[in-house]
Amino acid sequence: MNKPQEIVLAEPRGFCAGVDRAIEIVERALQKFGRPIYVRHEIVHNTYVVNDLKSKGAIFIEDLAEVPPGATLIFSAHGVSRAVQDEARARGFSIFDATCPLVTKVHVEVAKLAREGYEFIMIGHKGHPEVEGTMGQLDHGIHLVEDVADVARVQPAQTEKLAVVTQTTLSVDDAAEITAAVRARFPSIREPKQQDICYATQNRQDAVKLLSPQVDLVVVVGSPTSSNSNRLRELAARLGTPAYMIDSVDELRHEWFDGISRVGLTAGASAPEVLVQAVITRIKELGAVAVRKLDGIEETVKFPLPKGLKLDTATGLEITERPPETGPGGH
């Protein structure tokens, strides 16, 4: 049987700015306040990251009743509903919000347009915490559609003031198809000035589109709960390349590589590079001799930390003021 000869790495892959920031918020809170630090929901959807933070003293909970009075609580990168925010404040926790700023942008837009009398169609996956958080910005008037068929069934109370919003981690192509169906049914619907799907989701999917035709197999590093990682695997398969998603190197199967010459490798936005490197090592053990990185967009986006968690890296002292971060916004 032929064994793999070359590993081709997608670019960009792995951590995005929102994930980097969320993990850093938990680590800084542990450093500043000591253990335990409570986190509502997995900070990001990656098993390795969550287990690493657990070992450092983070406790992940779903129900705020599990958090003792006066404790420090962090909201996950996916965002939370108004009800969760209100309950956390009422219980008197010290709160840090690790919601990705690109999710917060959607929350702000929903709140603003709701005040102007708008109802909403939300494109997303039922039960995903980001969808629950965005829909939970309002107590009524926001309707979830998961596919084109749902668009025909949705019944807003009025259509004069209707806007569409999107989960940030969807398939770009699927979202475009569903948005087109929404537009066809509600021609006057208001769309966001900039798409809600974030720069990192878009860039990683574009990289898989470039990668897939050049390889015989695509391996995506990501956890089963990670929406954007699942979309990468689906996209490669849709483009005609066999594709597997793995949570860790132990899930690799030797038989996947029989008769395979080139292996494409990428990682979801919540998957750390250490896992990618472990996969490279394992595939090299199976015979691969070359590792090549595709050209791709270099991401320079960085999001500032919340007040109260900014430390001077040189001195370890807290910074109270700092110049605003600069860098290109989402695409």
CATH number at residue 206: 3.40.1010.20
Q: Are 151 and 179 in contact (CB under 8 A)?
A: no
| Calpha distance 227→268 (Å, rounded) | 9
Helix (H, G, I), strand (E, B) or coil at 123: strand
**Domain co-membership, 94 together with 117:** no
Please report, for residues 37, 113, 138, 269, the alpha-carbon distance to residue 133 in angstroms, rounded to integers and kept in the order given: 21, 17, 10, 19
Position 269 confidence tier, pLDDT thresholds 50, 70, 90: very high
Q: Which of 119, 130, 132, 234 is catalytic?
A: 130
pLDDT on residue 122: 98
Quick: pLDDT tens for 231-251.
Answer: 999 999 999 999 999 999 999
Stated as kind and residue range, the H or E segment containing 219 is strand 217-221
Type of residue found at 117: G
Q: What is the pTM of this model?
A: 0.92
Share of the chain above pLDDT 70, in %: 93
**Domain co-membership, 276 together with 229:** yes
Number of domains in the chain: 3
Give catalytic status of residue 273 as yes or no: no
Domain-ending residue, one of 100, 134, 164: 100
Structure tokens at 244: 């597997």
Is 230 domain-assigned?
yes
Is 306 domain-assigned?
no
**How many beta carbons lie within 10 A of that of residue 255, not counting itself?**
7
Structure tokens at 227: 């929406």
Quick: pLDDT tens for 290-326.
Answer: 999 999 999 999 999 999 897 655 555 554 443 443 3
Helix (H, G, I), strand (E, B) or coil at 40: strand
CATH number of the domain within which 63 lies? 3.40.50.11270
**Domain co-membership, 78 together with 108:** no
Is 1 domain-assigned?
no
Is 194 domain-assigned?
no
**Domain co-membership, 38 together with 112:** no
Range of the domain at 260: 6-15+199-293
**Domain co-membership, 171 together with 143:** yes
Q: Are 216 and 243 in contact (CB under 8 A)?
A: no
Position 3 confidence tier, pLDDT thresholds 50, 70, 90: confident
Is 322 domain-assigned?
no
